[in-house]
Amino acid sequence: MAAQRLDGKALAATMRSEIAARVAERARAGKRAPGLAAVLVGEDPASQQYVKNKHKACQDAGLATTVHRLSASTTQAELLELVGRLNADPAVHGILVQLPLPKQIDDGAIIRAVSPNKDVDCFHPENVGLLMTGYPRFYPCTPHGVLQLLTRNGIALAGKEIVVLGRSNIVGKPVAVMLMQKATATNPAAGDATVTVAHTRTKNLADVCRRADVLIAAAGVPGVITPDMVKPGAAVVDVGTNNVDGRWLGDVHKDVESVAGWLSPVPGGVGPMTITMLLYNTLDAAKQIDG
Ligand SMILES: Nc1nc2c(c(=O)[nH]1)N[C@@H](CN(C=O)c1ccc(C(=O)N[C@@H](CCC(=O)O)C(=O)O)cc1)CN2
Ligand SMILES: [Mg+2]
């Protein structure tokens, strides 16, 4: 039997209208619109598309959004100067600097320069520390999108065996932390699950993955998860967005569809949820800053 679809496009549409309703409510109460400043350095086509999609999603939900486009030859000092101005601007509640940055710029220096109160990507070490200790200021967008996609489709996580394939700072590490943490009133997006992180040096990868009730594929390698690596009936979340010859391919091989119980598609799974959780964080930042 074919796996049930974890439809990120549909859930994103539902959640974006929920966010739009809350933004409209704030406007009726005389509050300023949550403001997102997106910074794009260079001409990478995928990054341009992601920023365009983020900008449009913000506009559609009633957020105030500006895109700052800088040339590929921008210096680190120039970018730091822009980030400093955005940190000081009261109309800006959230700042996102699209990654990757050109090689002359140290990503870490820019991430650390964004005010932690406006860090809607949740990349700043202060926010990573808060997340790690169970007192999140924000949740990182892709990991939060993965949790929402599972829980809002009725997939319970507490006590489950979850395998995360990938250990990046943006996805693998934070999603593993969120999935293993205890859910509390101040940390609701937590899985209470038993989590294993697998990566390029993992021995017997297929055996490890086959233990999973929930498998999160975030390796960045097209088709790396094959049917023999999946427990029949497992929920499989594909975080891979690999552009191969102009087509979007996930990390999960198409034949997994006949083994998994649930499967998120690429495109239309985690990607739209990542953008939605950015809107969620920008609204949250506005609440934290303006009340
Ligand atoms: N500052 C950030 N940089 C990057 C992040 C991030 O969260 N913050 N994540 C990735 C890229 N990313 C968001 O920026 C992202 C990737 C993919 C998608 C998406 O919607 N993908 C589509 C397929 C592509 C398409 O149709 O355009 C999908 O899966 O349906 C959204 C956001 C690295 N950089
Ligand atoms: Mg760099």
DSSP string, 190-207: ----EEEEE-TT-TTHHH
Which protein residue has the closest C-alpha to ligand 1 atom 4? 99
For residue 29, the SS3 value is coil
Which protein residue has the closest C-alpha to ligand 1 atom 34? 99
Rounded to whole angstroms, the Cα distance separating 143 from 57 reads: 19
Q: Which ligand is nearest to the CA of 105?
A: 2
- Where the chain has pLDDT below 70, the residues are none
Kindly report whether the global pTM for this prediction surpasses the value 0.90: yes
What the chain holds in terms of domains, given with CATH numbers, is 32-118 (3.40.50.10860), 140-270 (3.40.50.720)
Beta bridge partners of 40: 69
What are 92-124's pLDDT values in tens digits? 999 999 999 999 999 999 999 999 999 999 999
Contact 220, 206 (CB under 8 A): no
Contact 214, 147 (CB under 8 A): no
The pLDDT of residue 59 is 98
Rounded to whole angstroms, the Cα distance separating 39 from 37 reads: 7
Rounded to the nearest 10 degrees, what angle do helices 8-28 and 270-290 cross at? Answer: 20
Tell me the ipTM for this assembly. 0.95
Query: What spacing in Å lies between the alpha carbon of 50 and ligand 1's midpoint?
Result: 5
Contact 66, 54 (CB under 8 A): no
Rounded to whole angstroms, the Cα distance separating 34 from 120 reads: 12
Pocket of ligand 1 (CB under 6 A): 49-50, 96-99, 121, 141-142, 170, 241, 248, 266-269, 271-272, 274-275
| Residue positions annotated with a catalytic role | 54, 98, 121
What are 167-208's pLDDT values in tens digits? 999 999 999 999 999 999 999 999 999 999 999 999 999 999
Contact 155, 186 (CB under 8 A): no
Rounded to whole angstroms, the Cα distance separating 12 from 116 reads: 26
Contact 289, 93 (CB under 8 A): yes
Omega prior to 116 cis, within 30 of 0: no
Residue (of 206, 225, 216) closest to 180 by Cα position: 216
The pLDDT of residue 1 is 81
Which protein residue has the closest C-alpha to ligand 1 atom 10? 99
Contact 252, 23 (CB under 8 A): no
Contact 69, 13 (CB under 8 A): no
The pLDDT of residue 45 is 94
Q: Is 165 exposed, middle or buried (0-12, 13-18, 19+ CB in 10 A)?
A: buried
Q: Probe ligand 1: pick from 16, 49, 50, 239, max atoms within 8 Å of CB? A: 50
The verdict on whether residue 133 carries a ligand-binding annotation is no
